[in-house]
Chain A
Amino acid sequence: MSTVLEQIEQQIARLSTKAVKKNTGNIRTLADGVAKIDGLSAVMYNEMVQFPGGAIGIALNLEEDEVGCVILGDISKLKEGDEVQTTGRLLSVPVGKALLGRVVDALGNPVDGKGPIAAQETYPVERIAPGIIVRKSVSQPLFTGIMAIDSMIPIGRGQRELIIGDRGTGKTTIAIDTIINQAKINKVGLASGDKNFRPVYSIYVAVGQKNSNIVRTMAALEAAGAFEYTTIVAAPAADNPANQYLAPFSGAAMGEWFMENGMDALIVYDDLSKHAVAYRQISLILKRPSGREAYPGDVFYLHSRLLERSARLDGKGSLTALPLIETQAGDVSAYIPTNVISITDGQIFLETDLFNQGIRPAVSVGLSVSRVGSAAQIKATKQVGGKLKGELAQFRELAAFAQFGSDLDAKTKAQLDRGARIVELFKQPAFNPIPIEVQVAVLFAMQRGVFDSIEVKKIVPAAASLREFFTARKNPLLTEIRTKAALDKDIEAKLQAAVDEWKPTFNA
Chain B
Amino acid sequence: MASGKKYVQQFARNLFTMSLANGALSDERVAGVLAYLEKHRPAQTMAILKAYHRLIAAELARGEAVVEHAGPIGESVLRDLAQSMTQKYGRPVTAVSRRNDELLAGLRVRVADDVYEYSIANQLATLAAAV
Q: Is the CB of A20 within 8 A of B116?
A: yes
Known: A16-B106, A38-B54, A65-B54. A23 touches B127 (CB 8 A): no
Q: Which of B69-77, B93-101, B118-126 contacts A (4 or more CB under 8 A)?
A: B118-126
Q: Is the CB of B124 within 8 A of A12?
A: yes
Residues on the A chain within 8 Å of B110, using CB: 24
Q: A17 to B101: give the CA distance in the assembly, Å.
A: 19
Distance from B115 Cβ to chain A, minimum over Cβ atoms (Å): 5
Mark out the residues of chain B between 69 and 114 whose CB falls within 8 Å of any chain A CB in the assembled complex. Answer: 105-106, 110, 112-114
Question: Any chain B CB within 8 A of the CB of A40?
Answer: yes
Residues on the A chain within 8 Å of B45, using CB: none
Question: Any chain B CB within 8 A of the CB of A128?
Answer: no
Residues on the A chain within 8 Å of B123, using CB: 12, 15-16, 18
- Chain B, Cβ-Cβ closest to A83: B115
Question: Any chain B CB within 8 A of the CB of A127?
Answer: no
Residues on the A chain within 8 Å of B115, using CB: 21-24, 85
Residues on the A chain within 8 Å of B9, using CB: 64-65
Q: Is the CB of B127 within 8 A of A11?
A: yes
Q: A42 to B89: give the CA distance in the assembly, Å.
A: 14
Interface string of B1-16 (1 = CB under 8 A from A): 0000000010001000
Q: A485 to B123: give the CA distance in the assembly, Å.
A: 63
Residues on the A chain within 8 Å of B114, using CB: 21-24, 42
Residues on the B chain within 8 Å of A20, using CB: 116-117, 122, 126
Count of chain B residues near A, Cβ 8 A: 21
Residues on the B chain within 8 Å of A25, using CB: 113
Q: Is the CB of A39 within 8 A of B113?
A: yes
Q: Is the CB of A21 within 8 A of B116?
A: yes
Distance from B116 Cβ to chain A, minimum over Cβ atoms (Å): 5
Measured as residues with beta carbon below 8 angstroms from the partner, the interface class of chain A is: 20 to 34
Mark out the residues of chain A between 1 and 42 whose CB falls within 8 Å of any chain B CB in the assembled complex. Answer: 11-12, 15-16, 18-25, 38-42
Q: A11 to B130: give the CA distance in the assembly, Å.
A: 13
Q: A39 to B13: give the CA distance in the assembly, Å.
A: 16
Question: Any chain A CB within 8 A of the CB of B56?
Answer: no
Q: Is the CB of B120 within 8 A of A16?
A: yes
Q: A20 to B115: give the CA distance in the assembly, Å.
A: 8
Interface string of A66-99 (1 = CB under 8 A from B): 0000000000000000000100000000000000
Q: Is the CB of B127 within 8 A of A15?
A: yes
Distance from A480 Cβ to chain B, minimum over Cβ atoms (Å): 58
Q: A442 to B118: give the CA distance in the assembly, Å.
A: 74
Q: Is the CB of A42 within 8 A of B113?
A: yes
Q: A19 to B117: give the CA distance in the assembly, Å.
A: 5
Question: Any chain A CB within 8 A of the CB of B55?
Answer: yes
Residues on the A chain within 8 Å of B106, using CB: 16
Residues on the B chain within 8 Å of A40, using CB: 113
Q: A64 to B13: give the CA distance in the assembly, Å.
A: 10
Q: A11 to B118: give the CA distance in the assembly, Å.
A: 15
- Chain A, Cβ-Cβ closest to B112: A41
Residues on the A chain within 8 Å of B118, using CB: 16, 19
- Chain B, Cβ-Cβ closest to A54: B129
Q: A405 to B110: give the CA distance in the assembly, Å.
A: 87
Find the residue from A12, A16, A21 having the highest chain B CB count within 10 A: A16
Q: A41 to B126: give the CA distance in the assembly, Å.
A: 23
Distance from A87 Cβ to chain B, minimum over Cβ atoms (Å): 12
Residues on the B chain within 8 Å of A41, using CB: 112-113
Q: Tell which of B55, B116, B120 touches A19, judged by Cβ atoms closer than 8 Å.
A: B116
Complex A-B: 12 CB contacts under 8 Å:
A12-B123, A15-B127, A16-B120, A18-B123, A20-B122, A22-B117, A24-B113, A38-B58, A39-B113, A40-B113, A65-B55, A85-B115
Q: Which residues of A contact B (CB under 8 A)?
A: 11-12, 15-16, 18-25, 38-42, 64-65, 85
The 4 closest A-B pairs by CB, nearest first: A15-B123, A39-B113, A20-B117, A22-B115
